[in-house]
Amino acid sequence: MPGKYTVKLTKGDQTYTEQLDVAIDPRAKYSLEERKAEFELSMKIYRELEHMTYGVVAIEGVRDAANARAAKLAEKDPLRKQLQQLAADCDALRSKIVATKEGGMITGEERIREHLGQLYGSVAGYDGKPTDYQVARTESLGHELQDVIDDFQKLTQKDLPGINSGLKKKKMEAISVLAEADWQKKKEESSLAAGAGMRAAEGQMREMD
């Protein structure tokens, strides 16, 4: 959005800051209010994409944990079958969010992820006011995504207590569901670590020079 921004650059022990004035292109045919509507919808879709990513990570976490524990149990163990069923149910929910065929949109198989990605590109690619369809589509996909995540929560709330009780009796680690707040924290920590790693690499290259 138009306004005053501060750009900060850190290089080693030195920090540089600069003020920038961002303005709408004078040739633009849209108003400030239309630009604001586009920005807000873009950010809303972006947050849905983040929520979707969390959902997929959480579902895959339970699925992979169930498969890993099932592999350690005897073929005829009832708990093994419960774990395999949980993993299969998680995979079914995941397939409602993410295309399962290699190639995604190229194969013609599109799920919530592909639809949200296309929608984000169309909204963010034009700085003017979004269409009524784009606004309605954002709401629709958001509800569709939340329905899947809600179904996942119901599944784990129903199945995990009994499964974890069985795992405890066999002295095996319980299966937990990743909380969105914890996922967000890990994502932020990874971003900080990646930035620190890049700065360290740049420092080593300067020393070599």
For 23-34, what is each residue's pLDDT tens digit? 988 898 999 999
pLDDT digits (tens, 9 = 90+) for 166-185: 999 999 999 999 999 999 99
**pLDDT for the residue numbered 203:** 56
Closest listed residue to residue 180, CA positions, set 52, 40, 42: 52
Res. 91: pLDDT tops 80: yes
Bridge partners for 20 per DSSP: 5
pTM for the full predicted model: 0.82
How crowded is the C-beta side of 88, counted as CA atoms within 13 Å? 7
pLDDT for 131 beyond 50: yes
Taking 60 as the threshold, does the pLDDT of residue 192 lie above it? yes
- With pLDDT > 90 as the criterion, what percentage of the chain qualifies? 78
3-class state of residue 13 by DSSP = coil
